[in-house]
Each structure stands twice: as structure tokens, then as C-alpha cells.
Structure 1
């Protein structure tokens, strides 16, 4: 479990996150949702330690990540896997080398064990025999799969996904959502997904935190989200439905 306790953050005098508390559960797909500019990415950066909160703390299974020493922070960071919005693959490295990169940096694992681990992760994301392909030779959806494989190659306990469906078509987005869901359940890890996609919310939203103008206004799941008593969330849901309808008509 990851816990955020009363997180606040300002930049140049502007309050971006305002006293946010939330719990993200192990073995569940935990979503942070909200429209653009509402603080989702800044909240994510506070959770993973890329940004230090002005107030509050983040706990990883009871370990205080925010106020811990360098050794404890390094230990926790080694347990974190990240799937970045654009995939963030190294263009000069092939698929195998991209996935192996965390093992090269963070472990002393022998090469044959690294190879076995890479092959397992490739199989898990449905990319068997793609080892030697370059990022320029694969589709956007495949790049996201490689990104997921890289994020879990180090036996991560915590998986963070920043807009995993960005730039993908609806069908591929569903595939990526289901892959994230299945891996979370299978490996029993704590997964946090930042998204503004209502399709993802309805597909995998087991625990959902809704942010609006830097505040947490609602928390629930995909089974009770339409019964919420929150006008801002209702507007967010409606805007997503309207956008999908416009795109469908244009298509």
C-alpha cells in the first residue's frame, strides 16, 4: 500500500496540490483522474519522489519515503517501476536492451539471468521474439508493452503509469488497460495510473481518486462513480463522453 498524507505543493507561490490524502491499495489498479492542469502529474511526482512536498508525507508499506534517509529512499526506488507517457524508450537500444536497462543499472545479476528475466517479461506482455527489434520498427501499442515489460523486469512492488493510453487508438488502449490490470493482479503489486480517459476508468478503476484544481474531491470505484454527489466529477464524466462522441462522428 502507498499512502499520501496531507500532501501540499506550491510552485512560485501558486498552490498546485492542496492537502491531499489518499490510499492506494496492493493488488488493485488505483487511478488518479481529472482534467488537464488539475495537479495529477504533480501529485504523481510527489508520490515517486521526483518532487518534494511542501507539507505532508508519502508512505510505502509503512516506510516514510518523504522524510527517510538516502539509503531507505534508494531501497524504495529500486522497488518502483515506471511506465512513462510516451514510452520513453532509448532509440539507440533494441527492445531487449531497453528492458534489460534497469537490471544493468540496479543489479549485479549475471547476464544469463538477465536474459531469462527479459524473455519472461516479453512473454508476459505478448511480445515473444521481439528482442532485437528497434523502437522505430514497432507500433505505439508495442512501445507501451515494452515500457510495461521494462517497468516490471526488476520485480517491482509498485508500478506507476503516466497516461498509458496517450496516443493510442481505443482498441489498443483497452488492450493496454487489461494488461496493466492483469499484471497488477497476477504479481500482487500496487499500481497507480494517472489518466483522464473514462474508458480506462470503467475498465480498470478499482480505486479512483478524482482531483479538481489541486484538491481531492471524490474517491471511490468504477461501480459507484456514476452515483457520485460531486458536480465537478459529473462535469468531467460528461466532457469525456462528449469528446468521444465528437471523435466518433469525425471518424
Structure 2
């Protein structure tokens, strides 16, 4: 579980986050949504430690991360997996080498043990056959799956995902959503996803935090979001015509 309380962040005279609080539960796909410029990516960076909030606390299972000592921060970082928007694969490394990279950097395991873990993760995302290929030789959706394999190779307790479906076709996006949800549930991970993709929100959003102009203005589940009586949220959710038509029949 990750609990944030009163997270505030400014850049110069621009207030980006204004007292954000919430609880992201273990074993659930938690989502932070909102229009561009609402602060969702800044909030994710504050949670993961890439930015330090001006005020507030970030607790990983009761451990205060943002202002913890270096040993504690190092301990928590080893428990974190990251899936970046563009995949962030190394072009000069094979799929196998990309997934092995965190093990090479952060562990002293034998090569045989590393390979066993890498191939387990590749099999879990359905890419064991692509281990020796280069990133340029596989599709965008496959690259995202390689990124997922790399993000779980260290057996993380916490998984942070930034716009996982960016640039993907709808069917591939559904595959990625389902895979993230399955892995979250199977390994009981605390997963936080930043997204503006309403299809993802409706499919796997077990807890959703909606930000608007730096404030948290709504939180709830994908079962509740279409019935919420919040103007800013409805404008965001029902900007899609299909969803507007759906709401008329609810």
C-alpha cells in the first residue's frame, strides 16, 4: 500500500499540486487520470522519488519515503518496478539483455540464475520466443511487453506505469491493460498507472484518482465513475461520444 498525504508541489510561482491525499491499495490497479497539465505526471514523480514534494508525505507500507534517510530510500527503490511510456528499451541490447539489465545492475546473482528469472518473466508476458531479437525487430506492443517483463524481473512490491497504451492500436492496448492487471493481482503488487485512456480506466480502474488543475476532485472505481456528479470529471470522461451515448442509457 502507498499512502500520500497533502502532497504540494510548485515550480516557481506555478502551483502544480495542491494538497493531494489518497491511498493506493495493494493488489489493485490504481489509476491517476486527468487532462494534460493537471499534474498527474508530477504526482507520479513525487511518489516514486524523482521529485521531492514541497509539502506532504509519501508512505510505502508505513515507511516515509520522500524525507526518509538514504538507506531507507535505497531499500524502497529496490522494491519498485517502472514501465515507461516509450518502453525505454536499449536499442543495442537484445530482448533478453534488456530484461536482464536490472539484475546486472542491482544483484550479484549468477548468470544462470539471472537467465532463469529473465526467461520466466518473458514467458509470463508471452515473449519467450523473442529473447534473442533486437527491439527494432519486434512490434510496439511487443516492446511494451518486454518493458513489463523488465519491470517485474526484480520481483517488485510496487509498480509504476506511465501511459502504457501510448501509440498502441486498441486491441494491443487491451492486451497490455489485461497483462498489467493480471500481474498486479497475481503477485499482489501495488500498481499505480498514469493514463488519459478512458478505455483503460473503464477496463481495469479499480481505484481512480481524478486530478483537475492540481486538485484531487474525485476518487472512486470504474463502476462509479460514469455516475459521478462532478462537472469537471464528467467533461473529461464524456468527451468521448461513445461514452456520452452510453451514459444516456445508464
TM-score (normalizing by structure 2): 0.96
Partner residue in 2 for 1:160: 160
Q: Which structure 1 residue ranges, 5 or more long, are not aligned?
A: 246-251
Q: Deviations over 1:197-249 (max 9, x none)?
A: 1100111000000000110000000001111110000000111347999xxxx
Partner residue in 2 for 1:177: 177
Supply the distance in 1 between the matched residues of 2:131 and 2:171 (Cα, whole angstroms): 24
Aligned-residue CA RMSD (Å)? 1.3
Partner residue in 2 for 1:86: 86
Partner residue in 2 for 1:4: 4
Supply the distance in 2 between the matched residues of 1:237 and 1:204 (Cα, whole angstroms): 15
Q: Deviations over 1:120-177 (max 9, x none)?
A: 0000001012111001001000000000000000000000000000000000000000
Q: Deviations over 1:31-88 (max 9, x none)?
A: 0001111101000000000000000010000000011100000000000000000000
Partner residue in 2 for 1:228: 228
Structure 1 segments of 4+ aligned residues over 3 angstroms from their partners? 240-245
Partner residue in 2 for 1:133: 133
Partner residue in 2 for 1:41: 41
1:14 has 2:40 as partner: no
Partner residue in 2 for 1:50: 50
Secondary structure of the residue aligned to 1:50 is coil
Partner residue in 2 for 1:122: 122
Partner residue in 2 for 1:197: 197
Supply the distance in 1 between the matched residues of 2:61 and 2:46 (Cα, whole angstroms): 16
Secondary structure of the residue aligned to 2:148 is helix
Secondary structure of the residue aligned to 1:194 is strand
Supply the distance in 2 between the matched residues of 1:38 and 1:139 (Cα, whole angstroms): 31
1:239 has 2:233 as partner: no
- Figure out how many residues of one structure are paired with residues of the other and give that number: 245
- Cα contact 1:197–1:240 (8 A) shared by 2: no
Supply the distance in 1 between the matched residues of 2:244 and 2:223 (Cα, whole angstroms): 21
Partner residue in 2 for 1:188: 188
